[in-house]
Chains A and B, each alone.
Chain A
Amino acid sequence: MQKVFRTLGVIAIILIVGAAIITSMVKPSNAEKVWDPETTVGNLEAKNYFIVYSDIMCPYCVAFENILFENEERFERYITENDILLEVRLSDFLYEFGEVHAINSRYSAEATYCAKNEGKFWDYYKIAITTVWNDYYKKSGKDAYSELDKKDKSYWIKLGKKVGLGEDFENCVNNDEPLEEIIENAKKTSKLVSGMPFFKFNKFTSSGFNPDGDWEDALLFFQAGLES
């Protein structure tokens, strides 16, 4: 009788260990992990998976992303050469959880999501980031967010028109169509992140960015991700 229990015990242990090994081997692919392929750049099956959590009302996020857009060619070459998939996870995090509840955090996210739904995420995101950087944060530093927060939806709609977005986009923003998705994403973000921008580059994680940084500073984050 004792021998039977021992045999059953050994079988149970083997099954548990086997199940654990199989589970750890079957990792979800990058394509399964991304929130939305529209907000990625690079190969979906790339070896390196880098995520940036961002909010357009966060001056440090805009500083980092503006560097990428200012060095677009170099950035795209770097992504390709190093086999990186970069995903931007934008939400209205600072409206939902931040102190000032900057309403333009929500408006800008809504406009970007509306552009995304028309397949123009990167076009819109680029113009939004570079405009906000050049008109506000570059001139007046991180405190410019309070000035920027005086804008209304029309500011973000006008930016959309510059990249060829039309009436559907305008209606989408005015009717708060992507709001539910944005709030859901902000909640998911809050479970991982306490400050913006938040980088999850492979196993390397970090929060914040030097607002006076340049391409070399941005590269350090990519290098840290590749070496992790």
Chain B
Amino acid sequence: MNWRKWLDDFILAGKGVLLATKERRFWYGFIPSFLFFGLLMNLLSGGTSKFSLMFALGLPTSLKILGESFLGIFGYNQPFLTWLPVFFISLLQGTLIGLIVVLWEKKREQNAANLEKAGIITGLIALGAGCPTCGTTLITPLLGAIFSTGGLAVAGTISTIVTWLAIIIAILSLKRLGLETYVIIINEKYMKKGGKCKKSLEP
């Protein structure tokens, strides 16, 4: 493994993300997905209990729960250590979708696969949210359907694995998409200048 190349790729991917933020379309993807994912994570913070309450208590209470979960994205009424991972993961997810939207515009092929991957990341993180020790993650009832009560006995490990898997996939996707965005945007700038290098760089 060439670590130097990996690091260089990550730096270029970072530059790609920065360049993408200058495109309006990036924000069209970033803002809704950041807000949606942050909201989803906050709604799932207590297992499925907030959803049960929303079903049971009608519209006004549901709106209150949604409103508080929404404000929770920005740290409202949240302890710092609860808020930070939710914010970070939402940021990661929003950036990925933002990059996909930018690439969608610039290069129309391959993006179905990228979108699919982003969906998988969201799904995996949502499955692992909640309290694995207590058996209140979304994955526990799924495991329960397969292993009966034994599902709880593996829920913690599986929740941790799927959450980390999702974060690793997200970071690797970010690297690949960031790099791709960097190459495309730089290439676009170059082509706009008529395919010529700056004078200072010309032989």
Contact size class for A?
A: 35 or more
9 A-B pairs with the lowest CB-CB distances in the bound complex, closest first: A208-B47, A195-B135, A208-B136, A206-B52, A210-B46, A224-B56, A195-B136, A208-B49, A99-B156
Given A98-B153, A142-B133, A194-B149, list of 18 further CB < 8 A pairs? Answer: A98-B133, A99-B152, A142-B134, A195-B134, A195-B135, A195-B137, A195-B152, A204-B52, A205-B52, A208-B47, A208-B49, A210-B45, A210-B50, A211-B82, A212-B77, A212-B79, A213-B46, A223-B57
Task: Bits for A211-228, please: 1 = Cβ < 8 Å to B, else 0.
Answer: 111000000110110011
Tell me whether B61 is interfacial, beta carbon within 8 Å. yes
Instruction: Please tell me which one of the listed residues A100, A207, A211, A228 contacts residue B48 in the complex, with CB atoms under 8 A apart.
Output: A207
Q: Is the CB of B131 within 8 A of A194?
A: no
Chain A 154-175 interface residues, beta-carbon cutoff 8 Å to B: none
Chain B 120-152 interface residues, beta-carbon cutoff 8 Å to A: 130-137, 140-141, 144, 149-152
Contact size class for B?
A: 35 or more
7 A-B residue pairs with Cβ-Cβ distance under 8 Å, sorted by A, are A99-B133, A99-B154, A141-B82, A196-B135, A211-B131, A220-B65, A221-B53
Task: Bits for B34-57, please: 1 = Cβ < 8 Å to A, else 0.
Answer: 000000000001111110110011
Q: Is the CB of A142 within 8 A of B131?
A: yes
Which residues of A have CB within 8 Å of B156?
Answer: 98-100
Q: Is the CB of A194 within 8 A of B140?
A: yes
B residues bordering A, Cβ < 8 Å? 45-50, 52-53, 56-57, 61, 65, 77-79, 81-82, 130-137, 140-141, 144, 149-157
Instruction: Give the nearest-CB partner of B57 in chain A.
Output: A224
A24, chain B: closest CB distance, angstroms:
24
Which residues of A have CB within 8 Å of B48?
Answer: 206-208
Query: How far is B150's CA from A102's CA once the two chains are assembled, in angstroms?
Result: 15
Query: How far is B139's CA from A98's CA once the two chains are assembled, in angstroms?
Result: 14
Task: Bits for A87-112, please: 1 = Cβ < 8 Å to B, else 0.
Answer: 00000001001111010000000000
Residue with the greatest number of chain B CB neighbours at <10 A, chosen from A211, A220, A221, A223: A220
Q: Is the CB of A207 within 8 A of B49?
A: yes
